[in-house]
Amino acid sequence: MCRLINWVLKYLHPSRLLCCLVSHAQTVDQFKDQPRLPKFAVPKRYDIRLRPDLVACSFSGSVAIDLDIVAPTSYIVLNAAELSVSDDAASFTNRDSSKVFKPSRVELFKQDQILVLEFPDSLPIGLGVLTIQFEGTLNDRMKGFYRSKYEHNGEQKNMAVTQFEPADARKCFPCWDEPACKATFKITLDVPSELTALSNMPVIEEKINGNIKTVSYQESPIMSTYLVAVVVGLFDFVEDHTSDGVKVRVYCQVGKSNQGKFALFVAVKTLELFKHYFETPYSLPKLDMIAIPDFGAGAMENYGLVTYRETNLLYDDQHSAAAYKQRVAIVVTHELAHQWFGNLVTMEWWTHLWLNEGFATWVSYLATDSLFPEWKIWSQFLDETIEGLKLDGLAESHPIEVEINHAHEIDEIFDAISYRKGASVIRMLQSYLGAECFQRSLASYIKRYACSNAKTEDLWAALEEGSGEPVNKLMDSWTKQKGYPVVTVRVNNEKLEFEQSQFLSSGAQGEGHWIVPITLCLGSYDVCKNFLLQEKTETRDVNELFGSQIPQEIGPRSWIKLNVDQTGFYRVKYDEGLAAGLRYAVEKQLLSATDRFGILDDLYALCMARKERLTSLLALMGAYREELDYIVLSNLITISHEVERIAADSVPELLDNIKQFFINLFQFSAEKLGWDPKPGESHLDAMLRGEVLTALAVCGHDLTLDEASRRFQAFLEDRSTQLLPPDIRKATYVAVMQRARKSNRFAYESLLKVYRETDLSQEKTRILSSLASSHDPDLILEALNFMLSSEVRSQDAVFGLAVSLEGREVTWTWFKENWEHLLKTYGAGYLITRFVSATVSPFASFEKAKEVEEFFATRSQPAIARTLRQSLERVHINASWVHSVRNEQHLAQAVQELAFGKY
């Protein structure tokens, strides 16, 4: 070292030395803080070998990457994170000359998650092979290459699992971890010989050497790094084949294989359905689906090896509720849709994430409806639309196409905009273009971009070409700007006046402007018209629209309904006369279930935005007193919980009467459904029973609480009792916790006992989501602390955030005390945002918003920044609504009348 310093001092003037050092630093720093990798090297093929150690929870590996050097460079820059790469562990070999280039510097930039290899000479243009050896840790954060725990024969064991979406393949092997950098993958695993090792492709060779076996897999088709998958553990499976010979398996923990049969049935049927719908066969020789005990998301569409949270793949005929059966079908069809929409045709960059998730969400309903038409699943699609509308009604929403400038920003856009708004605008477009034209154009798009990448504009071009409609112009307003319109409609003489403006839940004025596909009916679904609302305001003559079909007058005994069957992603505000006509139509059951749903949800949203009075909302809710449709009643229940929450903060003296009104509202359906399943009843009735009973329990209905207690006691004495079928267990658990206190712990302790005894994931999540529904803050705190214990899997702790009104403050205090632990456990990603949103959003005071802002002033992380802003906006919206309700005239009288049956 001394000789080097002397040489430098002798031959370099200090100014030249400084200049040299600055120049060198700049050459390295040019790659930092960049949203994308440089383009001078293009990966073509990866040969990956991994050796996981499931005892030490570490792994070692090597990768040989076929590269095309396409521009002069003395650097290779790729992604790597949480890996150890030594200075002598990398080299580049030119394909033509076989010359080996060793880097003079190997630097891992932790913040940017890039590995920079600097070479003393410029690399030759053309093909070569980059080889890198590396080591890493099987982490416990459910991202990258991680470990999941399971029990076999009473012994705790580890399995190795990958979860790479959106940008965590780099935590397993150095790579070009961007969706546009597609390549083929040849994977080899060295694993304990007694274990099953799965990857994207079928096994071509296994060699056993003592207690280690080397498993080699077929080379994959071209795909993105985030779709590479590896799972190593001990599993059972069930198997079937599609009609054209694709082998389909469902893997799960040993002893649970029977629970995989329903998902297997759905998968086989779905692959065949999508083959015809997309006019392209599934492109791999096998499809494996596997249930992972520790899994952060709901599922992941890895090509040929789809990973799932257990609750989203396994279904037990004896102990799973009907809602879980539906959930499994929706999730399986969603993930298999990705095998075409995402895996075969991939978004070019995360800005276009919605192309993956919006389409997979929409098409999952298409497939589920085909397989189970009796479920009326398209009416339940409204749940997706409503969640999209809720998030997109915030000023802190984002466009469907959102700019992504760093990897840490990606996780937050896996949200209701990309999934639910994306799916909803697709449904709106399909409704406008027609189902047949839409399918034909979609199939053409898949064929055109197969094994490649696409942008939103590419899809619009295919649909425009197939339909002849100006799709790009129509849809740009829905994908490139955030928000959506509320369309106000008024009757003026014999004219209908339409006005669009951006809807914001805060009640503020927005700037947006959309091309809105308007559908409307007048008095009958046989009298239906549609047009595009392109201006801010437009007027249509009723006679011109409907001709001789119109009634003599538009009033309380006739009705006009916009957004027929809720296929459009917008809200509607009616003038007083039209609103009266629609209430009459609701009472007389003249409208479809989806339209009854839409009228209620629009008025609720307008009420929250202080554009309508709470008395108007409560009066409309009274019109649903004999409602029996699942989707309508389910939304009525959701809205009742929100109204109760706002009333508790604004008019607590009226809360008992408001609860009594809701009890009256739900008793009709509760009596029709009863507690016990009826022979031959529908899937929807089975789901509805639990929701109605839960609503009555939360409102404090004594008869419901007493019956729940009786049945729970019978269940504790005999787990196989017929008195507590799966569909009402959640309702019963919530009910018994209503009377639980720190001094009356029987229900709480009993639920913990059931939790500890069951190995069914769905039963565990039922219990976790019920424990904090007590009214006792001390018991709620105990439940929250249990969520962070070793008895609860990390991904399940968020279920415990379903706290009662009395639990908001104690949850916030608990959250603050455990923030560092939560951050360490969940890091950046989907789950940490759930903690923030669930804890902060329920508050309804400006003072609390300020307190939250002050707490996060020194603690905020880039990965939660958007979620925190959205949560704080919700608090401000709630606070403004509370203030408005406090000042509402005649509310007490209206509530009194409603509580005692005067609708």
Residue range 297-313, pLDDT digits in tens: 999 999 999 999 999 99
pLDDT of residue 544: 81
DSSP 589-631: T-S-HHHHHHHHHHHHHHHHTTSS-HHHHHHHHHTTTT---HH
Q: Categorize the per-residue pLDDT at 546 as very low, low, confident or very high, splitting at 50, 70 and 90.
A: confident
pLDDT of residue 631 exceeding 50: yes
Token match 């979620």: residue? 867
pLDDT of residue 17: 34
Structure-token pair, residue 877:
């919206």
pLDDT of residue 87: 86
Q: Categorize the per-residue pLDDT at 410 as very low, low, confident or very high, splitting at 50, 70 and 90.
A: confident
The one-letter amino acid code at 288 reads: D
113 versus 543: which is more confidently predicted?
113
pLDDT of residue 2: 39
Angle between helix 729-738 and helix 702-717 axes, rounded to 10 deg: 110
- pLDDT tens-place string over residues 441-459: 999 999 999 999 999 999 9
**Those residues with Cβ within 8 angstroms of residue 372's Cβ, 6 or more apart along the chain or in another chain:** 326, 329, 683
pLDDT of residue 900: 87
pLDDT of residue 395 exceeding 90: yes
Q: Categorize the per-residue pLDDT at 345 as very low, low, confident or very high, splitting at 50, 70 and 90.
A: very high
Q: What ranges in 287-434 are assigned the alpha helix state H?
A: 322-338, 353-371, 377-392, 422-433
In which element (H, E) is residue 289 found? strand 286-292
Q: Categorize the per-residue pLDDT at 23 as very low, low, confident or very high, splitting at 50, 70 and 90.
A: very low
Residue of 165, 335, 401, 409 marked active site = 335
Q: Categorize the per-residue pLDDT at 340 as very low, low, confident or very high, splitting at 50, 70 and 90.
A: very high
pLDDT of residue 550: 60
Distance, CA of 547 to CA of 539 (rounded, Å): 16
**pTM for the full predicted model:** 0.94
pLDDT of residue 797 exceeding 60: yes
Q: Categorize the per-residue pLDDT at 1 as very low, low, confident or very high, splitting at 50, 70 and 90.
A: very low
Q: What is the mean pLDDT of residues 714-729?
A: 96
Task: Clarify whether 403 is annotated catalytic.
Answer: no
Q: What is the mean pLDDT of residues 325-330?
A: 98
Distance, CA of 708 to CA of 442 (rounded, Å): 50
Distance, CA of 238 to CA of 249 (rounded, Å): 6
pLDDT of residue 15: 37
pLDDT of residue 895 exceeding 90: yes
Q: How far apart are the first and last CA of the chain?
A: 91
pLDDT of residue 542: 84
Q: What is the mean pLDDT of residues 327-333?
A: 98
494 versus 474: which is more confidently predicted?
474
pLDDT-above-70 percentage for the chain: 96
318 versus 328: which is more confidently predicted?
328
Stretch among 135-149, 233-247, 551-565, 610-624 having the lowest mean pLDDT: 551-565
Q: What is the mean pLDDT of residues 256-276?
A: 97
- pLDDT tens-place string over residues 739-754: 999 999 999 999 999 9
pLDDT of residue 9 exceeding 50: no
Q: What is the mean pLDDT of residues 55-74?
A: 97
Q: Categorize the per-residue pLDDT at 812 as very low, low, confident or very high, splitting at 50, 70 and 90.
A: very high
Q: What is the mean pLDDT of residues 720-746?
A: 96
Residue 276 assigned as binding residue: no
pLDDT-above-90 percentage for the chain: 88
Q: Categorize the per-residue pLDDT at 554 as very low, low, confident or very high, splitting at 50, 70 and 90.
A: low
Q: What is the mean pLDDT of residues 375-397?
A: 97
790 versus 19: which is more confidently predicted?
790
Residue 310 assigned as binding residue: no
Residue 357 assigned as binding residue: yes
Q: In what order do the strands lie in the sheet with 516-522?
A: 528-533, 516-522, 560-562
Mean pLDDT of the chain: 93
Q: What is the number of other CB atoms lying within 10 angstroms of the CB of residue 294?
A: 21
- pLDDT tens-place string over residues 33-55: 888 999 999 999 999 999 999 99
